[in-house]
Structure 1
């Protein structure tokens, strides 16, 4: 396992312990599988990978682990793809942006946007405060108070544009 992923796993363990939660071996393994994936990974793909080491793993096993990881802000769900990525605030060596660093709070809900390439599937997480402010202003203008916002933008990544 890459050193960066190991550092993320250790930090995740410490974060959970500080909140009185436990990053069990199963949860740690699911987080590791998400971090190792080159692209957002779906629950059933995770289950297939998990079964290599845990033959008795079933869908509820993976979904419970994913729910825990989401709740503690260790991963994000890309709704458009129905798949999961590690939080870009954690230093792992994949295509996710490291544009922001943050401490995960108990209700980890930092603003983020996902740029999703329609050709290769690469997904990059970014945090642009101007986008966050624009959404808040538009909501306030109509008397709406947002609790959470995730923006998912489909398009073509730089690598695919260069290859075209």
Structure 2
């Protein structure tokens, strides 16, 4: 079965995503009485730039490029901890990287499709996937505190690229 279209993140305005993410983060911080510092804002903006998971050291380099100053690892890790704690981002465990959350502040099980070729990552939140996993865990007396499902493969655009290479190779 061939896909009929690319992932919905392929052709859209990333600046709109960044703006919305920062606006939502500021609202959540204000509602909870939290400090949303310039550093936290910069880290969140960088995470939202491409819809591809980004690692802490990549963030340090990007911050240094943006500010013209070196940034110490603890500074970035503190910002990441804050963003994770308040559900503004997700950690992609298989890549040791982070990605923005389209439903910030809400507790939900993340399901991610990650293209192994181009790196684009899309978060899904499908209850029909979450429920059987929770039921299975409950059947053995296990209480799930955090659930994340990461699926690696090829996005529609990269599948087409590979098919094209095979036809010409």
Shorter-chain TM range is: 0.7 to 0.9
Aligned twin of 1:84: 98
1:158, CA displacement in angstroms?
1.2
TM-score between the two structures when normalised by the length of structure 1: 0.84
How far apart are residue 54 of structure 1 and its match?
5.0
Q: Is the 8 A contact 1:109 1:148 kept in 2?
A: no
What secondary structure is seen at the aligned counterpart in 2 of 1:16? helix
Q: CA RMSD in A?
A: 1.6
Mapping of 1:95-106 within 5 angstroms? 104=105
- Equivalences for residues 106-145 of structure 1 within 5 A: 108-145=106-143
1:49 pairs with 2:42: no
* Matches of 1:54 and 1:142, distance apart in 2: 53
2:24 maps to 1:29: no
Richer in helix (by share): 2
CA apart distance, 1:157: 1.4
Q: Deviations 1:48-102 (Å, cap 9, x if unpaired)? A: 0101205141111100000000011111110001111100226xxxxxxxxxxxx
How far apart are 1:145 and its partner, in Å? 1.4
Q: Does 1:65 align with 2:79?
A: yes
Q: Which has the higher contact order (CA 8 A, sep 6+)?
A: 2
CA distance in structure 2 between the aligned counterparts of 1:38 and 1:136, rounded to whole angstroms: 28
How far did residue 161 of structure 1 move?
1.1
TM-score, with length taken from structure 2: 0.81
- Which consecutive unaligned segments of at least 5 residues does structure 2 have? 1-13, 163-169
* Equivalences, count: 148
